Amino acid sequence: MSIEQWIEACAAEDIDVEDVIRFDYEDRTFAIYRTANSIYYASDGYCTHERVHLATGLVMDDVIECPKHNGRFDIPTGAAKRRPVCIALKTYPIKIEEGKVLIQID
Ligand code: FES
């Protein structure tokens, strides 16, 4: 049985609109997104194609483009959108409380 917990990642204002930041927690890396309409999302931090940090990629509307081979993922669902990526990105519940970004991880 896995235990889920809410972890504080950053302040909401730490992420610019249409941007992504890296968040490391214990031995894991996450990507925290703020889309053009200021909705926040969280996913695993590495591309599923190779071990590349998505936080150095480009956010365009609801899509993150990997900086290495320009593969794309749908940010809300993690679905692979453009080759060479073909494995979806794991996403995590996220919420804003008192100006803090919290993500739920297991
Ligand atoms: S490492 Fe991300 S598309 Fe290749």
Place of tokens 């290495």: 68
pLDDT at 2: 64
Helix (H, G, I), strand (E, B) or coil at 44: strand
Which of ligand 1's atoms lies nearest the C-alpha of 54? 2
| CA of residue 18 to ligand 1 center, whole Å | 20
Residues with Cβ within 8 Å of 40's Cβ and at least 6 positions away in sequence, in order, are 12, 15, 32, 33, 34, 94, 96, 101
pLDDT at 89: 97
pLDDT at 3: 73
Residue nearest to atom 1 of ligand 1 (CA): 50
pLDDT at 1: 59
| CA of residue 100 to ligand 1 center, whole Å | 30
| CA of residue 58 to ligand 1 center, whole Å | 12
Indicate the pTM of the whole model.
0.94
pLDDT at 28: 96
Place of tokens 């899509």: 63
Mutate to test the pocket of ligand 1, among 43, 63, 85 (most ligand atoms within 8 A of CB): 85
Q: Which residues in the chain land under pLDDT 70?
A: 1-2
CA distance 48 to 3: 24
